[in-house]
Amino acid sequence: MDRSQEVLPIPEEYRGWWRIVSTSQWSDDHLDLMGPAMFSIGMRGTHCGQWRMIALLGDVVWSVTETRLRFELTGSWEYDPTVATGAVKLGKDERLAGTFKIQRGDSSTFIARRAEAPTRPLPPPPSPRDKWRRW
């Protein structure tokens, strides 16, 4: 196998749940609109995770580079299907500093700290049809 195609394992210090505590784009008061703003990395030994922040819910696939983790999120933003990409890097203060860009939408930096797993599972991203079922 060519080394450029090798899938590197997620480092242990990144694995687990992370609480988003601030962003450069949105007020911290709005981060928890749908529940605590958080994401997971490398759940059950995979490169998978979940994401919840404001009205963004999604499933995440992580990849490892030499200096950071990159991600691609597939889910929904305010009930509309969306894709987001970004990256995180663990700082000396044990917090993750990250960036993300919502396809055809906003981009932001964020800070996250290690957190306990949520008491209830994060809901799956809603489908666009769910938008109309609310009424």
Average pLDDT, the chain: 89
Global pTM?
Answer: 0.88
Name the band, by pLDDT with cuts 50, 70 and 90, for residue 134. low
pLDDT at 1: 44
CB 79 within 8 A of CB 128: yes
Q: Between vectors from CA 122 to CA 116 and to CA 124, what angle results, nearest 5°?
A: 155
Average pLDDT over residues 95-107: 92
Which has more confidence, 73 or 104? 73
Question: Mind listing the domains of the chain with CATH numbers?
Answer: 12-116 (2.40.128.20)
pLDDT at 3: 53
Average pLDDT over residues 63-89: 93
